[in-house]
Structure 1
Amino acid sequence: MTSVSPPRAEPLTPFAIEPAVDPDGTVHAVLSPQADLPLYAGHYPGFAILPGAFLLDAADRMIRAAGAGTGELAEVANCRFRAPVRPGTPVAVTLRPDPEATRWRAELSDEHGLVATFVLGYTGRP
């Protein structure tokens, strides 16, 4: 049986992504979601927050923007949302490659602390 990956949709660009890469391969960037994005309207009425799927997608896009050459995203091995991200709040992102595996560990924080952590697995080594 042949495995076929679904086509990737063109990502929305609600973020300014400017990754910097340390000599050890760690990626640092800041997400700057616009406060007036339409995606806030229905997520959640009366208490708008940035959807977690956008944070996850942004982490994946930052790895790719940094030229990490990791192949295709194959798994989300761990995903924890710890705090809401309100409209217009900048989010600092740190992505660390696991040199013994095909995974990246992501930590996302705002001015109040940690908002999400992910472990993303790829088809190629970091």
Structure 2
Amino acid sequence: MGKLFELCRKQDSLHKAWRRIRANGARSKSEETRSAIEDFDRTANRDILRIQRRLREGTFEFDPQKGVLKSKSSGGKRGIVMASVHNRIVERALLDTLQEKVEVARQAGIQKSSFGGVPDRSVPHV
């Protein structure tokens, strides 16, 4: 495994990712998301250790994700993907590690654009 992957699967990286996921999920408009965050929070330390073990052993697999159509203010619809809390933690740990350690990933975060996972970025509501 590469050094970046080793960094993202460290316990502190996974806990940092969980804190971010928990904070964002607690503010979600989706009852399903808030409920999933609350459920995970009950056993978070144990579950993060399991995620870490599976990452180290190479047995971690992303859970299936759920597609959802959301209504747009313009009257149309847009598709979004709802990932499990486990998936979100691993994805956030990977993203945080890349943005900390890889210049091109850091630069992507300061470009004028809007894409997921970048702090203080969202699609403006027109």
- Whether TM-score is above 0.5 comes out as no
Structure that is richer in strand per residue: 1
Q: Please tell me whether Structure 1 or Structure 2 has the larger radius of gyration of its CA atoms.
A: 2
TM-score (norm 1): 0.26
